Amino acid sequence: MSVPILQIALQSERDVVQARQRAREVAAELGLDNQDQIRLATATSEIARNAFRYASNGKVAFSLDLEQQRIEVEVTDTGGGIPNLEEVLEGRYRSMTGMGMGIIGTKRLMDDFEIATSQSGTIIRMGKVLPRFRNNWTERSARELKQKIQGRIPSNPFEEIEQQNQELLKTLQELRTRQEELELLNRELEDTNRGVVALYAELDERADYLRRASELKTKFLSNVSHEFRTPLNSIISLARMLMDRMDGDLTEEQLKQIRYIESSARVLQELVNDLLDLAKVEAGKVRMRPKRFEIHELFSALKGMLKPLLADNTSVNLIFDATDDLVPLRTDEGKVSQILRNLISNAIKFTPDGSVTVAARMVSGEEVEFRVADSGIGIAPEHHDTIFKEFSQVDNPLQDKYRGTGLGLPLCRNLAKLLGGSIWLESELGKGSTFFVRIPAIYVGEKLEADEAEMPPAPEYHRSPVLILEDNIETARLFESYLRNSEFQAILAANVAQAEVWTARHAPAAVIADVYLEEELCWGFLTRVRERWPDLVCIASSASDESETARQYEVSAFLQKPVDRDVLLQELRSRVSQAESRRILLVDDNEIARYILRDLLDQPWLNIREASNGTDAFAAIEQEIPDAVILDILMPDMSGFDVLRKLRGSSATEKLPVLIYTSKDLSESERSELETLNASVIKKAEVSSRLSAKPFLDWAKSAGVSPEDMTTESNG
């Protein structure tokens, strides 16, 4: 409900001044502070002046909104409206007379501002909220205010001007005071900023120092670990040789001494291994190898690994307990096994008699929790944090019998963090201990975007690239060995993200995918690559018979594991088109050099012929012109330069690719002549030191000798 308070007709400049006076009076009666009184009076005066100056029949009406507890001012006129109103309200309008500029300023002074304009006139409504600490205005109090304001005689205009001047002076004084406070605050902020900058510089320096110290520590641990490993392995091997009496019999005392030597060396070896593992983890150089595995299989493997420990402590019963609702994990099996081995071996060592129980359960369907509980000597609560610190051990009666390194539990903690999980302990002295390890069922690193995945190697241009999508490292390496000496190159991808990023840059000749590699994603990946390359050979594989599903997804073939090498090569060779072979002529008087070259260039697409001198070379060329020639310079009948000049002098061989393969140190003039004769050069020493065919294959590619459909773009 809105109660009218006062209305003023704008017929002269005096009425505009009166509107300002009345606005201040109303604001004062309503309990607004001095600043809000000035804001309301200024806003009313500005809009009233616009209505009087640019329009006609202007009116100013004051009313009190009882529901929202605010004062409302409405200014109306019957002029021609405000042109460019949208530009004015957005601050984009530029006026030479100042028209419209007051509207923006007025809008900022008021809590509410509405404007409606047309060719028949303009209506502007403004509002300011009343103070909350006052009692709410009612209809009765509003009418009493109306009578009080209407019964008051308006002040003289000159008095209003004087009042305005006083308000202006007061405002200027307040602004000056605030300016001084702001300058003081700025000076304090500058001092604070200088202190903060100095502090940050000190922190950066300290952080840099700590980083360098950490790097030096990691480097030191790595170097020391590597340097210790060789002599320790030698000591252990020599001790074993002596104990096996390979060089003669030993007395009982000598055998006892050698066993002490071997035992001490193995303790040192364990320390070195733990140090190296810790150094790798802290340096971020530990490579995660996630794979799909069952917890039951992991427990079975652990039973076999830990049998020697149980033989030393026959009074302990080792129990593995796994519930039936466990889902297959996809994480680094080796890291999980390493954590559990450490925890179980510690539990067996510090349990004189009783049992050690290893259990696993699912937590919220996304995490697995392993629990290693023992009935051993236990750990006092004050040592629960200490045991996870490097080189820290708790004194106990069994410590002399089982001397540890103090690195096993810190390593377990770091490995658990790498897997995205955590490790903690519940234990009481004399009542046994329970270690908990909780990790994600799927390693978080698997949830990679394509551009974040590790990039498999680029394909070799001279072999057909076969993308093998397999998460089991043993199976992947087996497939790689099948293709190692064939015309196919194995490109290993452990997950779909790696396969996606590789196929975004290269075109495979074929894809071999494990069905149970994130099953849905695997079939989806095969569908996507077939959309890009409809003729791409896609082979699915699995330990179970998935041939029917493979037919539904229209893959080229399905192979049930274990896959036979001959079967795999037969499928690939029958489905992947191969290029015709290229003829290479080797010209060298040294039989050993020809043998090495023939072995290095043993490629399915190369047909190699040999000549021991220049005369035999031209006889072979007359029978069949090769695709390229590899030529030695120092030969008995004619030099390589003579052979090359003769080749370039014939129209049939003037553009034949020639590679000079020599051990001779070429002079600048000889190199210049070879460039003129368009011949490439490879030194024999370079190839013999690397034992690699890469320089020849690079030359073959640049010379156009390699088959076109054997390149990486074969299916692209």
- pLDDT-based confidence at 448, cuts 50/70/90? very low
- Section 513-523 average pLDDT: 69
252 versus 450: the higher-pLDDT residue is 252
Q: By mean pLDDT, which of 186-190, 622-626, 667-671 is the weakest?
A: 186-190
- pLDDT-based confidence at 373, cuts 50/70/90? very high
Of the candidate CATH numbers 3.40.50.10140, 3.60.15.10, 2.160.10.10, 3.30.565.10, the domain formed by 2-155 belongs to: 3.30.565.10
- pLDDT-based confidence at 688, cuts 50/70/90? very low
- Residue pLDDT, tens place only, 133-190: 667 888 888 888 888 888 777 666 666 666 666 667 677 777 788 888 888 888 888 8
User: Which neighbouring-strand residues pair with 541?
Assistant: 514, 559
Number of helical (H) and strand (E) elements in the chain, helices listed first? 22, 22
Cα separations (Å) of 145 from 9, 28, 45, 263, 633? 20, 11, 21, 103, 117
- pLDDT-based confidence at 210, cuts 50/70/90? confident
Q: Where in the chain is the domain with CATH 3.40.50.2300?
A: 448-575, 582-710
Of the candidate CATH numbers 3.30.70.1710, 1.10.287.130, 3.40.50.12500, 3.40.50.300, the domain formed by 178-286 belongs to: 1.10.287.130
- pLDDT-based confidence at 538, cuts 50/70/90? very high
Q: Where in the chain is the domain with CATH 3.30.565.10?
A: 2-155, 291-444
Q: By mean pLDDT, which of 298-307, 363-372, 397-406 is the weakest?
A: 397-406
Q: By mean pLDDT, which of 141-155, 396-410, 447-461, 679-693 is the weakest?
A: 447-461
- pLDDT-based confidence at 125, cuts 50/70/90? very high
Q: Where in the chain is the domain with CATH 1.10.287.130?
A: 178-286
Say which CATH superfamily domain 448-575 falls into: Response regulator (3.40.50.2300)
Q: Which CATH architecture has domain 291-444?
A: 2-Layer Sandwich (3.30)
- Report the first-to-last Cα separation within the chain, whole angstroms: 76
- pLDDT-based confidence at 709, cuts 50/70/90? very low
Query: Would you state the structure tokens that stand for residue 603, as one six-digit string?
Result: 């490629």
**What is the percentage of the chain residues whose pLDDT exceeds 90?**
13
- Residue pLDDT, tens place only, 318-344: 888 877 678 888 888 888 988 998 888
What's the pTM?
Answer: 0.35
The 3-state secondary structure of 152-199 reads CCCCCHHHHHHHHHHHHHHHHHHHHHHHHHHHHHHHHHHHHHHHHHHH
> What DSSP assignment string belongs to 610-671?
EESSHHHHHHHHHH---SEEEE-S--SSS-HHHHHHHHHTSTTTTT--EEEEE-S---HHHH
- Section 114-134 average pLDDT: 88
> Given this structure, which CATH class describes domain 582-710?
alpha beta
- Residue pLDDT, tens place only, 548-607: 888 888 888 999 888 888 888 888 888 886 555 678 898 988 887 787 777 777 666 677
User: Between 157-243 and 13-29, two packed helices, what is the crossing angle to 10 degrees?
Assistant: 60
- Section 252-257 average pLDDT: 84
Return mean pLDDT, the chain: 79
- Residue pLDDT, tens place only, 3-59: 999 999 998 888 888 888 889 889 988 888 888 888 898 899 889 988 888 888 899
Cα separations (Å) of 416 from 218, 321, 389, 412, 553? 20, 21, 15, 6, 39
What is the structure's pLDDT at 236? 76
Query: Would you state the structure tokens that stand for residue 114, as one six-digit string?
Result: 């509405």
d(CA 682, CA 631): 10
